[in-house]
Structure 1
């Protein structure tokens, strides 16, 4: 199963630690990314529920195949049911019979939903932040005669939404229980229908010294405790969740869910025991590096100001390999965002559980050292892992000549589309990196989260696919990490 990854690790393509031939920032990108066929049934990369939404042939270049919405044979033959929660006490279900397609099912559901357009005020309110100014204040029939906006809002409201990477200001952290200038606080989450967030204890890279490591560890643990302390009942109920079952129970009860992660293994220093401590404090994953090499791994973007050369370890260090094994043992997900290409492929081969890039984009659409190329995407698929597409403008699209971001929500979903076509719906998820550089017009803070769902639904994704992208795939990987712990 991992022979392809081992071949990549052994080949010369891993000579550069960052995988970018010494270029720290490249503004070029292919005009027409090449989309290769997905693996046939029985091949190592076949997941059984491949991408169901192959559309937008323009982005694939001339001669692209027509849009495809065929269900995988497993899903089609099962007669699986899909339902749309209308928010009014009804769920309209459609049964997929043999030979049916997602498009067929959604067409039936749309027509059936039109007969029951009533929505609760809560579901309608979720869309207020996303309506154009010309629509604000207009009644439903005037604003949306087809009912599409209402239906999108209802599907979004029924979906377990999880943003897998959100930073917090430190050390001056405004209380997220009330309205703040942060992109994510609890009122914004409620307004946008964002039910759960992984808040990050981020530690910037510093000198590889005992003193530097000690300070970083103290900071990470203080941040984890501060995040956990935001749990409470007023004005909105929110709960710290450390397992998938807790998360699902929390959101089913209508409470907001607080999850925790640590960004940058620099905080571990050379003490593997800190990994178990972080897990006890509630962390669910560790991002192995940030920008700059640390004691565990080379980074995709070396820090010249810290004296980094292009390569320090040649990927993972011996300590880094031991850290991944210990993360598997204690139940921490291995996050390969920020790590060098060489280290990412080595981690895919080494980890006993699926690895995740919790905040990254596709290098075929935007040539940036923080993004993952096609071979890296394939490696994630082959080990059951995920790429969580992130809303950092510079990762999505080259900036304007003046340096300002040119990216939009459409660019964000283009990266989702590309990853889904390349490696399948089961291996793609969503994240923002809010308060850490993320945010694009159309999705500028947590209150606008419904716009992401609406754009995905407009492009042909259905309720089932939306649920996989927002949380289902990540919960699968999280459960695998916990099952492997011992």
Structure 2
């Protein structure tokens, strides 16, 4: 069955390897995602995030340079393996690549702070191919506040949501410009207040590329039922995250599990609250650790079977795996 994944951190892992002097090939490696595993998993499209940590301790680290270096990794992958994977810039590219027997790669950004508050940089990122972006990661920036309470630390389990601070003036300007460009606004990692700022002021559907249900796993990175309903009403899309801490409800993070059965429970809750149309996949592969039942991207048939056991029909499993996301991006890019 075809797979459409809204989020992974593979570009940053490949960049880290390069900076360590390691020769880590995208064709085959020890990461969650490589070309061989994607082919085995029957991937239709993978969103590759240029991920930036604003608190990077590396001397001289610059968030814009980091993002551009990861964009460069993406571009080199697309050029080197052009017979097997091709970029997506326009809606029609998804079907065109599939017809040519190629996997699609879509460039996204995880941390709008890499733009340093510049609309000009945002537009250049779009020009380079970025088609979706989170306004934040885990740190405050010029645009908005993250899920984590600013200054409150992230060591409280489960992480408590930031309901007080949301989008800043520049963040609203970025929202308007992203919608003008048809760059998808991604609310994963955004504060609760920021989510509602987007919901109130957006004019186009938006996504939560890698977030689960807070009703089942009470972590601030997950969506409340009210958020799920709001996204459904606005034609939004959510991606099931495979991270154990966003799937399980345990007294300590070390006890949390990443299983396909738990993923299916979150999918069922999304369906109950927001309808089947909003559900997609957002693995967070190569950005999550711990023991994973699906420990690489070739293992997606395990999730399909878990969804069937949870009571999803074959049509619904296909919607979750790729059809909902394909429709969303073809309608909104």
Q: TM-score, normalised by structure 1?
A: 0.61
1:228 corresponds, among 71, 75, 82, to 75
The C-alpha deviation readout for 1:46-88, integer Å capped at 9, x for no partner, is xxxxxxxxxxxxxxxxxxxxxxxxxxxxxxxxxxxxxxxxxxx
Q: Where does residue 119 of structure 2 map in the other structure?
A: 272
Q: Where does residue 103 of structure 2 map in the other structure?
A: 256
Shift in Å at residue 430 of structure 1? 1.1
Q: Where does residue 316 of structure 1 map in the other structure?
A: 167
Supply the distance in 1 between the matched residues of 2:94 and 2:296 (Cα, whole angstroms): 22
Supply the distance in 1 between the matched residues of 2:214 and 2:242 (Cα, whole angstroms): 14
Supply the distance in 1 between the matched residues of 2:5 and 2:162 (Cα, whole angstroms): 32
Larger Rg: 1
8 Å contact kept, 2:258–2:293: no
8 Å contact kept, 2:166–2:197: yes
User: Which piece of structure 1 moves more, 427-436 or 223-232?
Assistant: 223-232
1:289 corresponds, among 133, 136, 155, to 136
Shift in Å at residue 383 of structure 1? 1.1
Q: Does residue 46 of structure 2 align to residue 204 of structure 1?
A: no
8 Å contact kept, 1:291–1:303: no
1:389 corresponds, among 240, 257, 260, to 240
The C-alpha deviation readout for 1:201-224, integer Å capped at 9, x for no partner, is 0001249xxx99x92112112211
8 Å contact kept, 2:216–2:249: no
**For the aligned residues, what is the CA RMSD?**
2.7
- Equivalent positions of 1:12-51 (< 5 A) are none
Supply the distance in 2 between the matched residues of 1:228 and 1:357 (Cα, whole angstroms): 25
Q: Where does residue 17 of structure 2 map in the other structure?
A: 172
Q: Where does residue 4 of structure 2 map in the other structure?
A: 162
Q: TM-score, normalised by structure 2?
A: 0.87
Supply the distance in 1 between the matched residues of 2:55 and 2:32 (Cα, whole angstroms): 27
Q: Where does residue 375 of structure 1 map in the other structure?
A: 226
Supply the distance in 1 between the matched residues of 2:313 and 2:257 (Cα, whole angstroms): 28
8 Å contact kept, 1:228–1:258: no
Distance change (3 Å), C-alpha of 1:398 and 1:471 = same
Aligned residues: 318
Unaligned runs of 5+ residues in structure 2 are 155-160
The C-alpha deviation readout for 1:108-129, integer Å capped at 9, x for no partner, is xxxxxxxxxxxxxxxxxxxxxx
Distance change (3 Å), C-alpha of 1:459 and 1:236 = farther
The C-alpha deviation readout for 1:3-29, integer Å capped at 9, x for no partner, is xxxxxxxxxxxxxxxxxxxxxxxxxxx
Unaligned runs of 5+ residues in structure 1 are 1-155
Supply the distance in 1 between the matched residues of 2:322 and 2:253 (Cα, whole angstroms): 37
Shift in Å at residue 235 of structure 1? 9.9
Q: Where does residue 202 of structure 2 map in the other structure?
A: 351
Supply the distance in 1 between the matched residues of 2:213 and 2:42 (Cα, whole angstroms): 27
Supply the distance in 2 between the matched residues of 1:272 and 1:234 (Cα, whole angstroms): 32
Shift in Å at residue 461 of structure 1? 2.7
Shift in Å at residue 275 of structure 1? 1.6
The C-alpha deviation readout for 1:278-298, integer Å capped at 9, x for no partner, is 111111100110012211111
Shift in Å at residue 261 of structure 1? 0.4
1:456 corresponds, among 279, 283, 307, to 307
Q: Does residue 273 of structure 2 align to residue 428 of structure 1?
A: no
The C-alpha deviation readout for 1:257-305, integer Å capped at 9, x for no partner, is 2111000111011201112111111111001100122111111114549
Supply the distance in 2 between the matched residues of 1:372 and 1:327 (Cα, whole angstroms): 22
* SS of residue in 2 equivalent to 1:262: strand
8 Å contact kept, 2:111–2:133: yes
8 Å contact kept, 2:240–2:267: yes
Distance change (3 Å), C-alpha of 1:197 and 1:377 = same
Supply the distance in 2 between the matched residues of 1:350 and 1:402 (Cα, whole angstroms): 35
